[in-house]
Structure 1
């Protein structure tokens, strides 16, 4: 019973953080939503059902990661957010090594994102 309550509370917190992450690019939406789905699946059928039918779950988990479908505008928005998040440390740190790593991470997002979303086409 205590485990169920803890899962519901932590799932609620991760749902809130994931939803805030939609509007703030520094918080990742998808990992928090996946955590929410896992915790609510193991604690409450009603909460899990509510969550999987929500607009946010359908947009950020169902379409993008299960069906591997994303519009060009959502992909551009996602890459723009990744670019902004990686640009901040790129500007702050005056280290060639850090900058090379950040550029490599961004290029990896481009390459693997292209492969991931074009795999079924």
Structure 2
């Protein structure tokens, strides 16, 4: 029963996310993330298939699970984030919003420095009993 409910909820979230592409008021990404969560938890077979895909291994396992990202990859992401945040920063003359955008960008920089730091990797490998 739980698997059927998760599958149906996944379908509903996918439909809402797709509608969000057309209607700007609905956020697309959260609905697609929720759809993937529900679908992956609806079936062991679907979960195993997803974990075996090259996209999972390249974008999820490498970056999130293994915490591996080169400085060049980090810089590329941060430049993209900077460009996307610079658009509303320049176009909207609101000081509070500009300060919030600066805080968001600085938060990204700090996150990348801490999350992908060598010290963090050393602590994790020591806890797991792995030598680097």
Deviation for aligned residue 1:49? 1.2
Q: 1:24-35 counterparts in 2 under 5 A?
A: 32=32
Q: C-alpha deviations, 1:64-98, integer Å up to 9, x for none?
A: 11111112232122112211221121122101211
Q: 2:55 matched to 1:53?
A: no
Query: What residue is the counterpart of 1:3 in the other structure?
Result: 5
Gaps of at least 5 residues in structure 2 are 19-27, 123-132
Tell whether the 8 Å contact from 1:41 to 1:48 is kept in structure 2 after alignment.
Answer: yes
Deviation for aligned residue 1:54? 1.3
Taking structure 1 as the reference length, the TM-score comes to 0.70
Q: C-alpha deviations, 1:7-36, integer Å up to 9, x for none?
A: 45357x39x98xxxxxxxxx769x955862
Query: What residue is the counterpart of 2:93 in the other structure?
Result: 94
CA distance in 2, matches of 1:28, 1:85: 16
Q: Larger deviation: 106-115 or 73-82?
A: 73-82
Q: 1:62-77 counterparts in 2 under 5 A?
A: 62-77=61-76
**The structure with more radius of gyration:** 2
Q: 1:105-116 counterparts in 2 under 5 A?
A: 105-116=104-115
Gaps of at least 5 residues in structure 1 are 18-26
Tell whether the 8 Å contact from 1:4 to 1:42 is kept in structure 2 after alignment.
Answer: yes
Tell whether the 8 Å contact from 1:7 to 1:43 is kept in structure 2 after alignment.
Answer: no
CA distance in 2, matches of 1:35, 1:114: 30
Instruction: Say if 1:100 and 1:44 are closer, same or farther in 2 by CA, change over 3 A.
Output: same
Query: What residue is the counterpart of 2:121 in the other structure?
Result: 120
Task: Give the CA RMSD over aligned residues.
Answer: 3.0
